[in-house]
Amino acid sequence: MNIITNPKKLRGFERYVKVDNVSRRSILKGLGLAGGFVLAAPVMSRPGLAAYKTGAGEMPHGTVVDPRVFVAIAPDGIVTIVAHRAEMGTGVRTSLPMIVAEEMEADWSRVRVQQAHGDEVKFGNQDTDGSRSTRHYLMPMRQIGASARTMLETAAANRWGVPATEVKAVNHEVVHSASGRRIGFGDLAADAAKQSVPSVEGLKLKDPKDFRYLGKGQISMVDLRDITVGTARYGADVRLPGMKYAVIARPPVTGGKVASFDGAAAMKVSGVEKVMEVKGWPWPSKFQPLGGVAVIARNTGAAIKGRDALKIVWDDGANGKYESVAYRAQLEEAARKPGLVVRKEGDVEAALKGADKVIVGEYYLPHLAHVAMEPPAAVADVKGDKAEIWGPVQSAGGTREDVAKTLGIPQENVTVNVTLLGGGFGRKSKCDFAIEAALLSKELGAPVKVQWTREDDVRNGFLHTVSVERIEAGLDKNGKVTAWRHRSVAPSIASTFAAGAVHQAPFELGMGLVDMPFEIANVQCENPEAAAHTRIGWFRSVSNIPRAFAVQSMVAELALATKRDPKDMLLELIGSPRIVKLDSVKDLWNYGEPYESYPIDTARLRKVVELVAEKGGWGRSVPKGHGLGIAAHRSFVSYIATIVEVAVDDKGKLTVPRVDTAIDCGTFVNPERIQSQIEGTAIMGLSLAKHGAITFKDGKVQQGNFDDFPVIRMDESPAVTNVYIVPPGPDTPPSGVGEPGVPPFAPALINAIFAATGKRIRALPIGKQLEA
């Protein structure tokens, strides 16, 4: 097997944090994990050649470029291609195999997709997050396909006794045009398998002008039919003989634990078989379960009813006083004082003092819950020192490692079967629910399904952080922005891994704070401290949401202050087409990508603004009570700009008649799925802007379901969302799609509301603010 891997790559916290070896070691010590997570995988050299470099090789276990791992051809010609990333709605389970099929000249109607189980040594990195799959795997998948095609061609040439240069794979067969002979892939399968795998260096990739599938968008998701007939299998749909159903009452306060419990009434509920305590880990402990009391029953309904009858006394621990109103005041106070300087150009203090006018904006975004449509659920069957897991996990490899470690068994003894994910949004990067199922199965000696209720999902998850962003912008007499100070205060995801983490990690600072692209002489970014009091995790688009909200709102505030058109102001701030230099930023995190391949290119940012302005009819006249807002943002190394049209009636009722979004995600694979992602991010952006707030009182989440944590429904959804995809330049590397759509939506909406009503909203969600 040929593998590119880096044995130094560690799983967990470190993978997302760019740290040098010295500090990585010290972080490990701090976490008490020294050495324990190191994977001793062999290093073999089969580097994937690429016209551009990506960070794929830096991910745990890197990439594997081996057709024998990913492609199988049956004698009947059916080509099976392995999808090693998780499907949660982006279409990746279709797109990546489609890239292989394209290069190997397979006919898509004769391709079957097989989901990989969790095995990163075999398949390479499987973390489906960070909008990374296409950008890391476009080239490796092309190389796998080209290798398979070359092996098929060589087998045919050998059989016919002609030079390999004379034959060519075309639509599921190899053709020798000189003699008119042709032979199908199925007939060549056995011979092709005997060929040596060609060197990556010598591979000939297809000319993009000959692409049949890539970039075309005519192929539907492989799961489409199953989804519409109800046979698509998600985590909770897995059923095993003798399987028990479990729900768990978890501590309502992060870091709390069970003091005592009485399960007698629960045991009386029809169908309940057992009540038992489940092991929890002290906070913070990465993705380990919170513990609590489990009710085991013959069906989920009985387990839920049993849980309702439990009497539990909780010991709330240190976070029992966490309260959102007070915490917001604390963040605001921190944002008004100097903090750790994380970017510095020029002299911002002097420039603000010398400014003709200083505009200050303070922007607040509360905690958010993912509420993926499918609440977490997993099935485990643990027998002796072997474990099998079925579940909707974004990180199959990580789940395997964490389950193995928790059970104290070798990773090789753990099989992780990846089902479809009913939405992920970062929640299912954390495998706590799979670990819970494994612990219960071990204890009960039977297969167990753990089902999280919606309330569990809202109250016991890994929330999006809560933040105050404070921006001070200094203007000179001519209305030119000469100073920009941005203080960002928010508890860090690092706090879920290490106690006492009070600063944002590089991967958070790099999401819209230190990478701010404006052409301003004096810039300073600061990060005052903030301590976490609940589990903070990745939420689709992560810190880009509050940062884009703040920065792009400030652009419109500056436009107002200088009486300019917001789009013109935005373009002026972006400034000249150039590659942004961020020399003052230590540990610049560029979504894990090398800056040379993925620099901040303001020409591309300008382009999406100009494109959306043109297509979306920026400046068009709108009816009374309507307004247009614009915002642009680079995230996950893609560039995106959005125009939102709103209508606000006299009672303050907000509707969205139209959304226009332009995206430049470089070379793309499936424009149809890009469109659907952007349509969806408009809804998610509208949900969080209009309704999204998780709040705490006495350390407990106050919301529980879609009544008090509402998301957008069809009757409030935008009437039309138009998507424009920038055609890529010839060598533009692929970039993210799943997440970039969310961040610009809220500021575009808020700017539109200002245009419609003259009301500037600086704290989300909008809630009833327009009704006043």
Partner 1 sequence: MITLKINGQQKNWDGDPDLPLLWFLRDEAGLTGTKYGCGQALCGACTVIVDKQAVRACITSVSDVVGREVTTIEGLHPTGDHAVQKAWRQLNVPQCGFCQVGQIMQAAALLLENPKPSHDQIREAMAGNICRCGCYQRIENAVHLASTGV
- Least CB distance to ligand FES at residue 431 (A): 20
Q: Which residue is nearest to ligand FES (CB)?
A: 373
Q: Which of 68, 298, 480, 578 binds partner 1 (CB under 8 A)?
A: 298
Quote the CA–CA distance of 154 and 165 in Å, as a whole number. Answer: 9
- Which listed range, 235-243, 472-480, 554-562, 692-700, lies at the site for partner 1 (CB under 8 A)? 235-243
Note whether 373 binds partner 1 by CB under 8 A. Answer: yes
Within 8 A by CB and 6+ apart from 329, the residues are none
Quote the CA–CA distance of 552 and 512 in Å, as a whole number. Answer: 10
Comparison of 80 and 676: residue with beta carbon closer to partner 1 = 676
Q: Are strands 292-297 and 311-315 parallel, antiparallel or unpaired?
A: unpaired
Pair of tokens at residue 510? 């790099």
Cβ–Cβ under 8 Å, residues 534 and 43: no
Quote the CA–CA distance of 15 and 427 in Å, as a whole number. Answer: 17
Comparison of 714 and 772: residue with beta carbon closer to partner 1 = 714
- Least CB distance to partner 1 at residue 633 (A): 18
Size of the residue set binding ligand FES (CB under 6 A):
3
Comparison of 516 and 640: residue with beta carbon closer to partner 1 = 640
Quote the CA–CA distance of 56 and 62 in Å, as a whole number. Answer: 6
Q: Which of 62, 89, 252, 512 binds ligand FES (CB under 6 A)?
A: 89
For residue 702, the partner it binds in ligand FES, partner 1, none, with Cβ less than 5 to 8 A by kind, is none
Comparison of 199 and 231: residue with beta carbon closer to partner 1 = 231
Comparison of 168 and 454: residue with beta carbon closer to partner 1 = 454
Is residue 536 classed exposed, middle or buried when 0-12, 13-18 and 19+ CB atoms within 10 A define those classes?
Answer: buried
Q: Which of 22, 714, 768, 772 binds partner 1 (CB under 8 A)?
A: 714
Segment 407 to 426, residues that bind ligand FES, using CB under 6 A:
423
- Least CB distance to ligand FES at residue 462 (A): 19
- Which listed range, 14-22, 225-233, 286-294, 469-477, lies at the site for partner 1 (CB under 8 A)? 225-233
- Give the residue ranges of DSSP H helices in 409-473: 432-444, 454-459
Dihedral pair phi/psi, residue 523, rounded to 5°: -130, 135
Q: Which of 229, 242, 758, 768 binds partner 1 (CB under 8 A)?
A: 229
SS (H, E, C) 464-532: ECCEEEEEEEEECCCCCEEEEEEEEECCCHHHHCCCCCCCCCHHHHCCCCCCCCCCCCEEEEEECCCCC
Quote the CA–CA distance of 410 and 401 in Å, as a whole number. Answer: 9
For residue 711, the partner it binds in ligand FES, partner 1, none, with Cβ less than 5 to 8 A by kind, is partner 1
Note whether 224 binds ligand FES by CB under 6 A. Answer: no
Note whether 299 binds partner 1 by CB under 8 A. Answer: yes
Note whether 471 binds partner 1 by CB under 8 A. Answer: no
- Least CB distance to partner 1 at residue 712 (A): 7
Note whether 381 binds partner 1 by CB under 8 A. Answer: no
Comparison of 66 and 679: residue with beta carbon closer to ligand FES = 679
- Least CB distance to ligand FES at residue 425 (A): 10
Q: Which residue has the tokens 């970062």?
A: 426
Q: How far is CA 188 from CA 97, 104, 148, 202, 643, in A?
A: 20, 13, 11, 22, 53
Q: Which of 1, 231, 329, 767 binds partner 1 (CB under 8 A)?
A: 231
Pair of tokens at residue 505? 């990690």
Q: How far is CA 139 from CA 49, 303, 457, 667, 739, in A?
A: 8, 47, 37, 11, 21
Q: Which residue has the tokens 């999280």?
A: 452
Comparison of 414 and 723: residue with beta carbon closer to partner 1 = 723
> Residue 307's closest CA among 246, 258, 259, 256?
246
How big, in percent rounded to 5, are the helix, strand and coil portions of the chain?
A: 35, 20, 45
* DSSP helix/strand/coil, 420: strand
Comparison of 199 and 270: residue with beta carbon closer to partner 1 = 270
Segment 62 to 91, residues that bind partner 1, using CB under 8 A:
87-91
Comparison of 42 and 230: residue with beta carbon closer to partner 1 = 230
Q: Which of 128, 541, 552, 721 binds partner 1 (CB under 8 A)?
A: 721
- Least CB distance to ligand FES at residue 301 (A): 12
Quote the CA–CA distance of 457 and 322 in Å, as a whole number. Answer: 19
- Least CB distance to partner 1 at residue 734 (A): 20
Note whether 230 binds partner 1 by CB under 8 A. Answer: yes
Q: Which of 66, 153, 173, 237 binds partner 1 (CB under 8 A)?
A: 237
Note whether 305 binds partner 1 by CB under 8 A. Answer: yes
For residue 451, the partner it binds in partner 1, ligand FES, none, with Cβ less than 5 to 8 A by kind, is partner 1
E strand map for 384-423 = 386-391, 414-418
- With vertex at residue 225, the alpha carbon angle to CA 219 and CA 231, rounded to the nearest 5 degrees, is 145
Quote the CA–CA distance of 189 and 193 in Å, as a whole number. Answer: 6
Q: Which of 97, 423, 426, 517 binds partner 1 (CB under 8 A)?
A: 423
749's torsion region: left (phi>0), alpha (psi -120 to 50) or beta?
A: alpha
- Per-position x/- string for 336-375, each x denoting binding to ligand FES as judged by CB under 6 A, each - no binding: -------------------------------------x--
Q: How far is CA 11 from CA 35, 397, 564, in A?
A: 11, 9, 49
Number of H-type helices and E-type strands within the chain: 21, 26
Comparison of 245 and 287: residue with beta carbon closer to partner 1 = 245
> Residue 663's closest CA among 619, 611, 720?
611
Pair of tokens at residue 535? 């589990």
- Least CB distance to ligand FES at residue 723 (A): 17
Quote the CA–CA distance of 335 and 695 in Å, as a whole number. Answer: 20
For residue 680, the partner it binds in ligand FES, partner 1, none, with Cβ less than 5 to 8 A by kind, is partner 1
Note whether 375 binds partner 1 by CB under 8 A. Answer: yes
Comparison of 171 and 270: residue with beta carbon closer to partner 1 = 270
- Least CB distance to ligand FES at residue 373 (A): 3
Note whether 392 binds ligand FES by CB under 6 A. Answer: no
> Residue 548's closest CA among 512, 576, 515?
512
Q: Which of 342, 622, 712, 748 binds partner 1 (CB under 8 A)?
A: 712
Q: How far is CA 663 from CA 142, 170, 226, 659, in A?
A: 24, 33, 30, 13
- Least CB distance to partner 1 at residue 707 (A): 6
Q: Which of 379, 387, 421, 588 binds partner 1 (CB under 8 A)?
A: 421
Segment 250 to 269, residues that bind partner 1, using CB under 8 A:
269
Segment 89 to 118, residues that bind partner 1, using CB under 8 A:
89-91
Q: How far from chain centre, in Å, is Cα 295? A: 32
Dihedral pair phi/psi, residue 468, rounded to 5°: -120, 130
Segment 657 to 686, residues that bind partner 1, using CB under 8 A:
672, 676-677, 679-684
- Which listed range, 67-75, 336-344, 368-376, 688-696, lies at the site for partner 1 (CB under 8 A)? 368-376
Within 8 A by CB and 6+ apart from 407, the residues are 382, 385, 387, 414, 438, 439, 442
Comparison of 87 and 664: residue with beta carbon closer to partner 1 = 87
Residue ranges binding partner 1 (CB under 8 A): 87-91, 220-221, 223-225, 227-234, 236-237, 239, 245, 269-271, 298-302, 304-305, 371-375, 420-425, 451, 453-454, 672, 676-677, 679-684, 705-707, 711-715, 717-718, 720-721
Residue ranges binding ligand FES (CB under 6 A): 89, 373, 423
